[in-house]
Amino acid sequence: MEGVDYLADERKKASFDVEAMKIVWAGSRDAFEVSDRISKLVANDPAFRKDNRTMLPRKELFKNTLRKAAHAWKRILELRLSEEEASKLRFYVDEPAYTDLHWGMFIPAIKGQGTDEQQQKWLPLAYKMQIIGCYAQTELGHGSNVQGLETTATFDPHTDEFVIHSPTLTSSKWWPGGLGKVSTHAVVYARLITDGKDHGVHAFIVQLRGLEDHRPRPGITIGDIGMKFGNGAYNTMDNGVLRFDHVRVPRSQMLMRVSQVTREGKYNQSDVPRQLVYGTMVYVRQQIVADASCALSRAVCIATRYSAVRRQFGSWNGGPETQIIDFKTQQSRLFPLLASAYAFRFVGEWLKWLYMDVTQRLQSDDFSTLPEAHACTAGLKSLTTSATADGIEECRKLCGGHGYLCSSGLPELFAVYVPACTYEGDNIVLLLQVARFLMKTVSQLGTGKQPVGTIAYMGRIEHLMQCRCNVQSAEEWLKPGQILEAFEARAARMSVSCARNLSKFGNPEEGFLELSADLVEAAVAHCQLIVVSKFIEKLQQDIPGEGVKQQLEALCGIYYLSLLHKHQGDFLGASYLTPKQAAFANDQLRALYTKVRPNAIALVDSFNYTDHFLGSILGRYDGNVYPELYKAAWKDPLNESDIPDGYHDYIRPLLKQELRSARL
């Protein structure tokens, strides 16, 4: 029970208003109140229990997920929850399910790409869940290269239908969540062919299963792709395989907001620009960045609490050992992740604003910010998901051996989160897209076209190529202007260096392939600058609550100085810094660890996560870790009897030297 005292004492050390920080984390008082109420509603409902999830066989696990999804929908209807509240409820249930794809991909695809008439037909059915949809894009042979998809949709003018077909094994749809066993409909991406001409990839609504018997429709082969990484984890989701054998759908089921096929089979582009499709992409990616801050903050909450509970070494005269959170090696690994969770939260908030801004501009036919918004969201999706996946694994290691137990919550959290690095765009491919945008921006410098938004710093390229750091003490690394110049100079010089090297190649594409590793590093530098600048911008706002702003300033300092320390080769190699200035940065970073240390528990309490949502014995709010770990061990099915199944067949013959006569 010692752990309870550790965390009670830790909470007394806080030098800021925790309740005020909870509101900063949530984004607003309203958002906090909704989140707080819904998370407690889920935590207090035994139907949403999840502590046995990692022990269930797959079929039982999946059926249990179906039960929870149905119960969640029942509660949403009974309580008449708003769309925001319903979304929060699904989030706090904390179990990947077909509903994620129905609400997160199927409905947005119809809203983004369907005509008004198509939306009026399909959305009411989807909103009431009278149909359940998924998003069937990825194929066995193609994921990142969407233009390489092989499924075909050939128009038949005699019947006014499209014939959807899988011409090869690799054209099988593979991975869509909700497809394997649940979805009745899908938005299917296929190559549109009219009169022998291929018009590229378009979207079609296809019914997959009967609405009465749930059996696959004629011509459709469909199933689950099998077990995935981890216990429980993403195995609650029916990721599916789908093949079409000349399946006919009415012409009206091609999503036709951007392009249409007429009754005669003529292909037309509408007045609505193709760029509108990017609006949906920006929405999905900003949501992924927001999810990154949630997943990383969960792992950091667990690791921080357990680091305060766990004691090892350093006992003097028979006194208690040292809390491992007091070791600088622990702080230097843990606190940058704590700072990253807050940094990703704030850049996620800004991306939400960017999405609203892009949407408004699109509605008035202003596409000027779209390339920058597209590159920015692609890069931030890549940066935050990679850092979060690595961060969750680091948190597991920060918890020592016990972090490897399923009851720590970290193995399952990692297994659920890690596919974010490859879905909705492979992270390296996305960084290469950012790099292309950076190279184009560099090539246009001096032409009179001013860089805008997150790339505006390139407009000061002459200064950034020549300036030198003038820091003369550790404390000067706390000046926001100094930090921004350092990260801008690094990003600009890396981009210009890549552009110069590219210009040496006769064939630019050949150069791009050869220099792709350098280009990825330049893209990372640009994306890290965005996160740093948005954290600094957040701190320029009015932030109420005693001591809240000071703690956020310390976290911001840890975020940018830990990046500077990790990537100091970039800053030194670009001749912006001297080794002595890099050493000053490291001195200041250590000082900030000391400043954050007494507030660490309060900073993770500010996430306001229930024990149910954390799903971790190591991360319990009350710190009562060891008795609960001991108790949990005895719940494992293996401990239902002292003598294991198989003893008489395999262990006893071994002990009694009777293996030759044993039936193995």
**Residues near 189 by beta carbon (within 8 Å), at least 6 away in sequence:** 136, 137, 146, 149, 151, 201, 202, 203, 204
DSSP secondary structure code for residue 369 in this structure: T
- Interatomic CA distance for residues 407 and 518, integer angstroms: 41
| DSSP element (H, E) containing 269 | strand 267-269
Q: What is the DSSP string of 51-101?
A: TTGGGS-HHHHHHHHHHHHHHHHHHHHHTT--HHHHHHHHHHHT---HHHH
Residue type, 616: S
**Spatial contact of 239 and 134, defined as CB atoms under 8 Å apart:** no
Tokens standing for residue 1: 């029970």
Q: What is the DSSP string of 145-195?
A: -GGG---EEEEETTTTEEEEE--SGGGSEE--TTTTTT-SEEEEEEEEEET
- Interatomic CA distance for residues 68 and 196, integer angstroms: 47
Residue 608 dihedral angles phi and psi, to the nearest 5°: 60, 40
| DSSP element (H, E) containing 607 | none
The answer to whether the annotation marks 143 as part of a ligand binding site is no
- Interatomic CA distance for residues 630 and 633, integer angstroms: 5
**Spatial contact of 40 and 610, defined as CB atoms under 8 Å apart:** yes
Tokens standing for residue 309: 């509970």
Instruction: Compute, in degrees rounded to 10, the torsion defined by CA atoms 608, 609, 610, 613.
Output: 160
- The C-alpha angle with vertex 438 and arms to 433 and 440, in degrees rounded to 5, equals 95
Tokens standing for residue 87: 């979304």
Closest CA to 287 of 105, 431, 146: 105
Only one residue has tokens 């690394």, namely: 477
- Interatomic CA distance for residues 619 and 157, integer angstroms: 62
- Interatomic CA distance for residues 306 and 408, integer angstroms: 10
Instruction: Compute, in degrees rounded to 10, the torsion defined by CA atoms 603, 604, 607, 612.
Output: -160
Question: Which residues are 248's β-sheet partners?
Answer: 163
10, 161, 393, 424: which is the annotated catalytic residue? 424
**Environment class of 195 (CB within 10 Å of its CB; exposed 0-12, middle 13-18, buried 19+):** exposed
Q: Does the annotation count 372 as an active-site position?
A: no
The answer to whether the annotation marks 545 as part of a ligand binding site is no
**Residues near 141 by beta carbon (within 8 Å), at least 6 away in sequence:** 148, 150, 168, 169, 170, 171
Question: Which residues are 197's β-sheet partners?
Answer: 194
**Spatial contact of 465 and 492, defined as CB atoms under 8 Å apart:** yes
- Interatomic CA distance for residues 411 and 403, integer angstroms: 8
Closest CA to 172 of 245, 106, 227, 236: 245
Any idea which residues carry the catalytic annotation?
424
**Residues contributing to the annotated binding site for FAD:** 138, 177
